[in-house]
Amino acid sequence: MASAARGLAGWWLPTGRIRRRDWWVRYFLVFVLFGVVATWLDVRYYPDSLFMDSTYNFDLLAPLPDTGGPVTGLTAFLLAVPNVAALVTRLHDRDHSA
């Protein structure tokens, strides 16, 4: 139980180096999956919150929504800290300033 909590804390605020593979698998894919699920939940339970094309009933901003319903907003808020922390760590690993 303690190692799982330590692992989640290590993911939330990474320290040390992040390898390229870890960046793509542990961060980027997780953010994309959470975003897709959040957008799907917004479409399912809050259909009036997204901009939809009336002809095809398709969310025009589904791949990269800049606006969204409450689930998308909450997900973006909760993932902001690990996103920025991992990005800064990865940029530092590549000798760029963040």
| 71 conformational bin, left if phi > 0, alpha if psi -120 to 50, beta if neither | alpha
Mean per-residue pLDDT of the chain: 74
* Residue 1: inside a domain: no
Q: Look-up: residue for tokens 């699920």?
A: 37
H-type alpha helices, 1-98: 2-12, 20-22, 29-45, 70-93
Q: What is the pLDDT, as a whole number, of residue 62?
A: 53
**Where in the sequence is the domain holding 72, given as residue range(s)?**
19-93
Residue of 97, 96, 91 lying closest to 18 (CA atoms)? 91
Residue 98 lies in a domain: no
**30 within domain boundaries:** yes
Please tell me the distance from the alpha carbon of residue 89 to that of residue 93, in angstroms, as a whole number: 6
Rounded average pLDDT over 38-64:
67
Our count of domains for the chain comes to 1
Residue 56: inside a domain: yes
pLDDT over 80 at 14, yes or no: no
| In-domain check, residue 41 | yes
What is the predicted pLDDT for the residue at 32? 87
29 is a domain residue: yes
